[in-house]
């Protein structure tokens, strides 16, 4: 059996082939283009790589065109953490670090310890596409919130009237009405001089169709209240800074909305979408995030315990001598863990069994809110694993059976 290691870089790559005895059979330096990829595939083919018996490959990244080329067919591709490679380097080589040496180290990692590393999952193309969109939408949502917090912090320094004006609106500074008003009046002095017709026109440009007159009077009263002010020159400078930040927030809101629409179009086309949506608390966006991190490769996790550990839902037990502790898991998939917290937060609203389970963890076991949510996520994740394996939708009566005494 042969093993291949590839040291990845932006402009070039180094590859190394070793056999079961650790003997280096070939080494190759290729550019990062289609011609270089063909050279690599030809090298693998020369040494027996085929559709039935592909040569496993270790590389330090899970993304990029090179990884996409290597993942064709049934080839196992292992994405090894660069920090783990650095530890292995001390074990396998004694010379200084080099690209060719790292490729040899990666090949030897598979030769000696392939059984302890996990290959990239064999997900379908649709699942990988949904993963791209769901993660991008999640990043855009986080970026939007970060920019909104920055804008809020800036407005508190010189323009508290703007915060009072948007306080009654859902999503606050992210709403189109807030953007139109701040564009029209970037400073408190300009806001106090706004006429009713100007405010009315700004609300209509933002898309508001009802309650315009009442909202106009409310905004005019908020902007004309007596407040403290920065010096005029400083206020104008802060207004220019605010407009620049507002432009970034507007772009982030547009990106998040566009990506959310793309997720809503792609996720329902997946065969597992109906199973995800059958669970309480899961909508299209949250279901897409769960599918993005779990995937549709049924062989990825041997059992539900592996998935729970991957998501950070199951606790970690440490015992040494007379010491014994049970703590939450810190090494996990952060995206899946975040989606699971949202899932456990929403599930009790649509599932009496989930709500009873949460209350039991709080009242009988004395868990804090976060611990109870994590325990509920742990149980829901086990149910999801079973439903995906058996191709069955969620059933409240099976997931949370009523005790016989209570039923009687």
Residues with Cβ < 8 Å from 256, sequence gap 6 or more?
137, 140, 141, 143, 144
- How large is the average pLDDT for residues 322-334? 84
Bridge pairing between strands 24-31 and 12-18 = antiparallel
pLDDT for 325 equals 81
**Residue 168 backbone dihedrals phi, psi, to 5 degrees:** -85, -5
Q: How many CA atoms lie within 13 A of 349 on its CB side?
A: 8
pLDDT tier at 406, thresholds 50, 70, 90 = low
Say yes or no to pLDDT of 216 above 70. yes
DSSP character for 267?
A: G
In the chain, how long is the greatest CA-to-CA distance?
83
Say yes or no to pLDDT of 145 above 70. yes
pLDDT for 147 equals 96
Say yes or no to pLDDT of 225 above 70. yes
Give per-residue pLDDT as tens, 111-124.
999 998 989 999 99
Q: Per the structure block, which two tokens stand in for 186? A: 């970037």
Q: Comparing C-alpha atoms, which of 10, 11, 65 is closest to residue 37?
A: 65
pLDDT tier at 66, thresholds 50, 70, 90 = very high
pLDDT tier at 295, thresholds 50, 70, 90 = very high
Say yes or no to pLDDT of 133 above 80. yes
- How large is the average pLDDT for residues 168-180? 92
- How large is the average pLDDT for residues 63-68? 90
- How large is the average pLDDT for residues 321-331? 82
DSSP string, 98-115: -HHHHHHHHHHHHHHHGG
Weakest mean pLDDT among 147-156, 178-187, 310-319: 310-319
Give per-residue pLDDT as tens, 361-386.
999 999 999 999 999 999 999 999 99
Q: What angle do CA 361, 362, 367 make, to 5 degrees?
A: 80
Say yes or no to pLDDT of 342 above 90. yes
pLDDT for 111 equals 92
């Amino acid at each position: 059996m042969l093993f291949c290691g590839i040291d990845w870089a932006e402009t070039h790559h180094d590859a190394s082939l070793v056999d079961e005895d650790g003997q280096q059979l070939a080494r190759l330096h290729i550019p990062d283009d289609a011609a270089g990829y063909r050279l690599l595939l030809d090298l693998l083919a020369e040494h027996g790589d085929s559709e039935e018996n592909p040569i496993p490959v270790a590389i330090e990244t899970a993304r990029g065109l090179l990884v996409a080329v290597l993942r064709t067919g049934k080839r196992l591709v292992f994405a090894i953490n660069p920090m783990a490679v650095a530890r292995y380097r001390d074990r396998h080589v004694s010379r200084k670090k080099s690209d060719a040496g790292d490729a040899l180290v990666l090949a030897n990692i598979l030769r000696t310890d392939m059984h302890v590393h996990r290959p990239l999952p064999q997900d379908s193309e649709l699942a990988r596409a949904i993963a791209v969109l769901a993660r991008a939408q999640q990043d855009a949502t986080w970026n939007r919130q970060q920019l909104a917090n920055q804008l809020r912090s800036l407005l508190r320094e010189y323009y508290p009237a703007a915060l009072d004006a948007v306080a009654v609106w859902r999503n606050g500074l992210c709403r189109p009405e807030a953007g139109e008003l701040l564009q029209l009046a970037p400073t408190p002095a300009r806001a106090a001089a706004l006429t009713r017709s100007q405010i009315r026109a700004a609300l209509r440009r933002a898309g508001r169709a009802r309650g315009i007159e009442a909202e106009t009077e409310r905004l005019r009263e908020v902007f004309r209240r007596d407040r403290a002010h920065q010096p005029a020159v400083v206020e104008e400078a802060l207004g220019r800074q605010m407009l620049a930040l507002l432009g970034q927030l507007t772009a982030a809101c547009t990106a998040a909305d566009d990506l959310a629409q793309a997720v809503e179009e792609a996720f329902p086309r997946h065969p597992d979408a109906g199973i995800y949506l059958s669970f309480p608390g899961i909508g299209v966006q949250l279901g897409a995030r769960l599918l993005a991190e779990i995937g549709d490769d049924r062989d990825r996790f041997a059992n539900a315990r592996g998935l729970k550990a991957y998501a950070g839902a199951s606790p970690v037990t440490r015992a040494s001598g007379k010491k014994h502790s049970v703590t939450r898991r810190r090494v996990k998939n952060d995206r899946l863990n975040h989606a699971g917290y949202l899932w456990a937060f929403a599930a009790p609203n649509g599932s009496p069994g989930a709500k009873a389970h949460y209350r039991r963890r709080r009242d009988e076991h004395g868990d804090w809110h976060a611990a109870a949510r994590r325990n509920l996520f742990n149980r829901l994740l086990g149910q999801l694993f079973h439903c995906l394996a058996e191709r069955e939708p969620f059933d409240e009566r099976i997931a949370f059976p009523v005790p016989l005494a209570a039923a009687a």
